[in-house]
Amino acid sequence: MNIGILNIQGDVSEHYLMIKKLSKKLNVNPVAVNNKNTLANLEGLIIPGGESTVIFKFIIQNDIYDRIIEMANEGMGIMGTCAGAIILSKNTNDTRVNGMNLINMGIKRNAYGRQINSFIQNIEIKNIGNFDAVFIRAPEIENVRDADVLAEYNNNPVVVKNNKKNKNVIAMTFHPELTGNTKIHEFFINNLK
């Protein structure tokens, strides 16, 4: 099974290493995604954290924005972390970034503060368990519709999973790839089978 990692900027190598770590256990291969050709033959795609305006600009310039949406509608799973969650949302609240509307939710960018306000918080995630979530300039999820909230922090959703047409689309406002804990990546991959 091929799991793509959108290879633009941000935590690309960290997600790549997480998939590599799971390669034997779950029979998965990481694939760096830069263009339409590298999107072919994927069962899942990870849109990592980074800078959402840069990610959006890149996927538009490389003509893969619409193809990612098509592939999600055809059943490909997508996991968006931090900036990736912004890209997956319906309403980014930022005129520079058009969300893909793969999860019916709004996003408030940098809601938890600047880089200096980064923190780690243990959260309970439905069907996954306890997880030390790393929040770095994290967005806040707002107005969730047609999606299941799998975890909250301070009564705000931090992990959501679509429950309608794109059942394999999951978004989180933190960075699971920075922990060394593969539980979230395993959950994502196991839901693709």
The question of whether 177 is a catalytic residue gets the answer: yes
Q: H or E stretch including 151?
A: strand 147-153
Among the listed residues 14, 43, 175, 185, the single catalytic one is: 175
**Residue 84, class by beta-carbon neighbours within 10 Å (0-12 exposed, 13-18 middle, 19+ buried)?**
buried
Q: Which amino acid is at 117?
A: N
Q: Write down the catalytic residue from 14, 82, 140, 185.
A: 82
Place of tokens 């994927």: 42
Q: Per-residue b/e over 43-63, b at no fewer than 16 CB within 10 Å?
A: bbbbbbbbbbeebbebbeebe
Q: Which of 14, 43, 140, 177 is catalytic?
A: 177
Query: Does residue 43 carry a catalytic annotation?
Result: no
Query: Taking the CA of residue 83 as centre, how many other CA atoms within 13 Å lie in the half-sphere pointing to its CB?
Result: 20
**Would you call 175 a catalytic residue per the annotation?**
yes
Give the residue numbers annotated as catalytic, written as ranges.
Answer: 82, 175, 177
